[in-house]
Amino acid sequence: MSLRWSLVIPVKTLVAAKTRLAAATGPHRTRLAVAVACDTVTAALACPPVARVIVVTADPAAAGPLAALGADVVEDPDRGLNTALRTGAAHAARLAPGDAVGALQADLPALRPAELATALAAAAEFDQAFVPDALDVGTTFYGVRPGRPFLPRFGGESRARHLAGGAKELCLEGIDSLRRDVDTPDDLRAALALGLGRHTAAVVAELWPGSG
């Protein structure tokens, strides 16, 4: 029987979100951040192995739209990214102690449910596993099997820290949309080439008319 997953997605307060996109997006920056998170959550909820998505945020402007999509929103204790993820994982364990728990970055606007499912199936074979970002520096997904310690090491050069912590690196073909997080205009253009979710696509159409 395949594992069911609870996925924890941390969402920053919008004033702090996507600051490296500020020059390119201007007044659309906060709208873009919400749209990207909405597309990430939408794709995760559409992935068959995912039983629930838990969003951890302190920003009501993000919490409302994400809850409307079907995410379970919990308050961010505002003590850093990994503390937020552990808070969400503890909530997941209370809701469904028999499910695997994963952490997913919130900035994956091209995410495909089938590609996420491929990664989750591979992760289910290991006590802890992760997917590196497209630059092989950061991490876009980290997950553990039911009952295993949840020890996320996100932030900066997290790929090396997850490796050092004993997590299995998932080097899989055909999961480009899961590896393409968006922090810069070049990242956003790369995600656009993969195919954006509808929320992000609507904002990008205003930013770059004719880009679709």
**Residue of 204, 205, 177 whose CA lies nearest to 191:** 177
Q: Is 158 annotated as a binding residue?
A: yes
Q: Is 155 annotated as a binding residue?
A: yes
| pLDDT at 161 > cutoff 60 | yes
Q: What is the CATH number of domain 5-207?
A: 3.90.550.10
Secondary structure of 90-152 in HEC code, one letter for each residue: HHHHHHCCCCEEEEECCCCCCCCHHHHHHHHHHHCCCCEEEEECCCCCCEEEEEECCCCCCCC
At 51-78, the pLDDT tens digits run 999 999 998 989 999 999 999 999 999 8
- Which residues face 56 on adjacent strands? 10, 74
pLDDT band, residue 173 (cuts 50/70/90): very high
Confirm if 157 and 163 have CB atoms less than 8 A apart. Answer: no
Per-residue tokens: 120: 């989750």
**Residue of 172, 152, 45, 41 whose CA lies nearest to 107:** 41
Tell me what percent of the residues of the chain surpass a pLDDT of 70.
89
CA distance 206 to 212: 10
Confirm if 170 and 119 have CB atoms less than 8 A apart. Answer: yes
Q: Is 98 annotated as a binding residue?
A: no
Per-residue tokens: 6: 């609870």
Please state the pTM of the whole predicted model: 0.92
Strands 168-169 and 128-132: parallel
